[in-house]
């Protein structure tokens, strides 16, 4: 079955890159691309300002057919519309398996975020029910403007996918974040969205993320360096693959880029209560949150005097992971275990013990003593442990790539 990709081009100078994107997509549809996606139809819509900047010819030559730009054509006749019961922007929106807005200027991002539809591109976009990938491109100061970021956050909340702009030299001469990613990167992203969007459809998945905070006094806490990036990446990948996702994340952890339902916790007791409440209603849980191993024996309601010596007594916290199966014996439980500078054989042994003690179905182990692995960074390296032993080692990669590989192994 053919997939139709509709490309919306707004008036960013980086629009010239879309010519190469069209060529990549057309090559792929004929089976001659590394992306391996056949049977792709491509449609292109341009804003009037983009047409004034570039003309249509370079895009029509690459596409091999006409490019759309007029909301009301010169020969428009409402009688023909009523007779055929066909409106161009509704037809284009209905055909879209995926809609891409690239480049997306600050202007069009603002219009879409506010539901403004005053040309063919924005009118079509409002009628689209397929996934939408927004590829921002603009000056660094414009990109960092709070108004633009507020609009980006709005689009995320509405379920739009955002491909972050690259950093580098911009058309205006300044250097910073705002470059449209290269066509190969955009193509890779959209093919991923097309391929994965139904893989976990029907699954209800909980992901826990970030580190707990256990109060010492009115202002101080015991916590850890967990950023929640691994959990957020897992939540996003599950969402991209069609699952219904609940992200339980700590107050100071990163949030999802997408419209993933989330609830916030601070202490291990908060998190325990949330999981206990939701576990019966979900099929799968990735318990990647870094829960404190120790809790202060006494929490003061006032601020400790920093000039005095204190003795802090801690007691071991109850393991939330070990309780989850008692709350829902049928839930697929994937636990996480951080170790520190263990040899591979010892690491696997530790993972096996954690799996048996917690009755998990799988345990993901990473060695946070290695450079660039685990807490606070954007990369990870993990070992996937099953009841039979080591299922797979996933070498160091971005946490998003790690999340993709984990899902590939666990939901084959």
Q: How far apart are CA 144 and CA 134, in angstroms?
A: 16
358 pLDDT band (50/70/90 cuts)?
Answer: very high
Q: Are residues 299 and 356 in the same domain?
A: yes
pLDDT of 34 > 60? The answer is no
Is cis: bond before 103, omega within 30 of 0?
Answer: yes
Q: Dihedral through CA 393, CA 396, CA 402, CA 405, nearest 10?
A: -40
For the stretch 243-289, pLDDT in tens is: 999 999 999 999 887 778 999 999 999 999 999 999 999 999 999 99
Q: Are residues 177 and 208 in the same domain?
A: no
Q: Are residues 186 and 146 in the same domain?
A: yes
Q: Are residues 252 and 170 in the same domain?
A: no
Task: Please name the residue that has the structure tokens 């916290």.
Answer: 317
For the stretch 157-201, pLDDT in tens is: 787 889 999 999 888 888 899 999 999 999 999 988 887 777 899
Number of structural domains found in the chain: 2
Domain ends where: 161, 196, 231? 196
Domain ends where: 196, 215, 230? 196
Provide the mean pLDDT of the chain: 92
Mean pLDDT of 293-305: 93
Q: Name the residue range of residue 122's domain.
A: 3-196
Domain ends where: 196, 226, 260? 196
pLDDT of 33 > 80? The answer is no
Q: How far apart are CA 356 and CA 349, in angstroms?
A: 11
pLDDT of 112 > 70? The answer is yes
CATH code, domain carrying 255? 3.40.50.10300
Q: What are phi and psi of 316, to 5 degrees?
A: -65, 135
Residue 31 has a pLDDT of 59
Mean pLDDT of 60-88: 82
Q: Are residues 282 and 364 in the same domain?
A: yes
CA-based nearest residue to 159, from 73, 247, 261, 65:
261
Residue 257 has a pLDDT of 72
Q: Are residues 192 and 222 in the same domain?
A: no
Residue 412 has a pLDDT of 79
Q: Are residues 302 and 278 in the same domain?
A: yes
CA-based nearest residue to 163, from 218, 247, 98:
98
For the stretch 346-357, pLDDT in tens is: 999 999 999 999
pLDDT of 56 > 70? The answer is yes
Task: Please name the residue that has the structure tokens 């058309």.
Answer: 171
CATH code, domain carrying 14? 3.40.50.1950
Mean pLDDT of 359-383: 95
Q: Are residues 222 and 172 in the same domain?
A: no
From 9-23, 298-312, 322-336, the region with the lowest mean pLDDT = 298-312
For the stretch 76-89, pLDDT in tens is: 777 776 777 666 77
Q: Are residues 159 and 219 in the same domain?
A: no
Residue 1 has a pLDDT of 62
pTM given for the model: 0.72
Q: How far apart are CA 122 and CA 119, in angstroms?
A: 6
Q: Are residues 92 and 232 in the same domain?
A: no
For the stretch 137-167, pLDDT in tens is: 999 999 999 999 999 988 987 878 899 999 9
Q: Are residues 234 and 363 in the same domain?
A: yes
Residues designated as active site = 89, 172
């Amino acid at each position: 079955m053919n997939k139709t990709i509709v490309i919306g081009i707004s008036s960013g100078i980086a629009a010239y890159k879309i010519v190469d994107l069209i060529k990549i997509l057309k090559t792929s549809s004929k089976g001659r691309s590394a992306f391996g996606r056949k049977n792709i139809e491509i449609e292109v819509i341009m804003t009037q300002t983009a047409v004034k900047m570039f003309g249509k010819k370079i895009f029509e030559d690459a596409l091999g057919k006409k490019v759309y730009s007029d909301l009301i054509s010169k020969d428009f006749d409402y009688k023909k519309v009523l007779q055929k019961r066909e409106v161009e922007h509704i037809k284009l929106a209905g055909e879209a398996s995926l809609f891409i807005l690239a480049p997306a200027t600050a202007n069009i991002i603002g219009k879409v975020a506010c539901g403004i539809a005053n040309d063919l591109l924005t009118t079509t976009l409002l009628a689209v029910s397929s996934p939408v990938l927004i590829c921002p491109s603009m000056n660094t100061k414009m990109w960092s403007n709070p108004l633009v970021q507020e609009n980006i956050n709005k689009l995320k909340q509405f379920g739009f996918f955002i491909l972050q702009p690259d950093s580098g030299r911009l058309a205006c001469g300044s250097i910073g974040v705002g470059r449209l990613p290269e066509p190969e990167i955009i193509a890779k992203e959209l093919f991923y969205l097309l391929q994965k969007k139904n893989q976990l459809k029907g699954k209800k998945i909980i992901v826990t993320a970030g580190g707990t905070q256990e109060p010492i006094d009115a202002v101080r806490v015991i916590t850890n360096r967990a950023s929640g990036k691994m959990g957020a990446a897992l939540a996003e990948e599950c969402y991209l693959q069609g699952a219904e996702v609940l992200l339980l994340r700590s107050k100071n952890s990163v949030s999802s880029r997408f419209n993933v339902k989330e609830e916030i916790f601070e202490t291990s007791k908060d998190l325990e209560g949330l999981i206990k409440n939701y576990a019966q209603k979900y099929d799968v849980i990735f318990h990647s949150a870094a829960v404190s191993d120790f809790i202060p024996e006494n929490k003061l309601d006032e601020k400790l005097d920093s000039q005095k010596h204190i003795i802090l007594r801690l007691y071991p916290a109850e393991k939330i992971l070990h309780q989850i199966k008692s709350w829902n014996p049928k839930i697929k439980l994937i636990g996480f275990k951080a170790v520190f500078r263990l040899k591979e054989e010892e690491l696997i042994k530790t993972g096996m013990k954690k799996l048996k003690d917690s009755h998990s179905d799988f345990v993901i182990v990473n060695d946070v003593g290695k450079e660039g692995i685990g807490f606070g960074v954007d990369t990870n390296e993990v070992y996937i442990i099953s009841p039979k032993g080591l299922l797979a080692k996933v070498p160091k990669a971005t946490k998003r790539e790690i999340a993709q590989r984990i899902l590939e192994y666990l939901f084959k």
